[in-house]
Amino acid sequence: MEILAFGVQADEKPLVEEAFAGHGRIRCLEVFLDQDTAPIAAGHEIISTSVNADLGAPVLEILAAGGTRMVAQRSTGFNNVDVDAAERLGLTVARVSYYSPYSVAEFAWALALAVDRRVVRASNRTRDFDFRLHGLMGRDLHGRTAGVLGTGKIGEAFARIAHGFGMRLLGWDIAENPACLELGMDYVPKDKLLAESDLITLHVPLMPETRHLIDADALKAMRDDAILINSSRGGLIDTAALVGELRAGRFTGVGLDVYEAEAGLFFLDKSLEAIADDTLARLVTFPNVLVTSHQAYYTEDAVRQIVDATLRNVLDYRAGRRSENVLVPRS
């Protein structure tokens, strides 16, 4: 049996092939799954997809018509999956419910420190042998307040690092995490967290209830000198509203590893093309904004865990087993 894997990065390919060795042939493609590439899957019972795959109803219908019966997504989020359509078409869909939370939490901190201490600006200057310090002044984070929206595994890992920095911890979630409470975190309403935090980080899933969790009102509730970090899902922030606040000269720094319209852009080389997305084009021009292309998860440790979990999902499907990773069970 040949398994077809879409959206496999060059660094990821050896890990995928190593994990699946002895469990059937896996063919890795760099192209991402969408309506145009879905016909490639014809004749493949099992396919694997990346985080930015289009798994809406039209794509799922093409896959089902071509003989696909199982989709193994190599990501935790599944807001890109039309679960109802998959169930209607008899497609089994599984995801990776857990991988290293440290990969994302540590990268969120990398963004926070980079914008706070003007690291990108400093690096660009020294490449031109400009060694002035003007405009590079940052702030100590020790003694300041970190607001963590979403205190699951990743939020907890972020909070542990913040605790190590000696920061006051505020949290917001539907349920309190005992480990965060032990760190001294105070759970408060969202408005209070936004108003009192020097550093705000997002670690909640994207659902209808959380879409634009940080909207125009939330942005206005934040301190003018706050740092905002999003390494979760782009749709958590109303980007147009964020651009408006940045144009008004607000915020010490914004670090974004995700963008709400990133599909068709992130993971691809667009350097020789005109970017039609005016919001993104404007966003990257602000000197206090750092945008990266959804790489927070991208460590060898995390990718190995993701690939291993994907293999288990495929083996479970073949054996007729069901795990916590299954979104739509085998019919």
DSSP secondary structure string for all residues of 15-50: HHHHHHTTS-EEEE-SSPPSTTTGGGGTT-SEEEE-
Question: 3-state class of 310 per DSSP?
Answer: helix
Q: Write down the catalytic residue from 156, 245, 260, 262.
A: 262
In Å, what is the CA distance from 270 to each residue of 215, 218, 293, 304? 28, 32, 12, 28
Number of C-beta neighbours around residue 329 at 10 A: 12
What residues contact 290, with CB distance under 8 A and at least 6 apart? 111, 114, 115, 120, 253, 254, 255, 256
| Angle (CA) 36 37 38, round 5° | 100
Q: Write down the catalytic residue from 95, 118, 233, 250.
A: 233
Q: Write down the catalytic residue from 74, 95, 118, 294.
A: 294
Which tokens hold the place of 163? Answer: 């605790």
262 is catalytic: yes
Token pair 């590439």: residue: 37
163 is catalytic: no
44 is catalytic: no
Catalytic positions are: 233, 262, 294
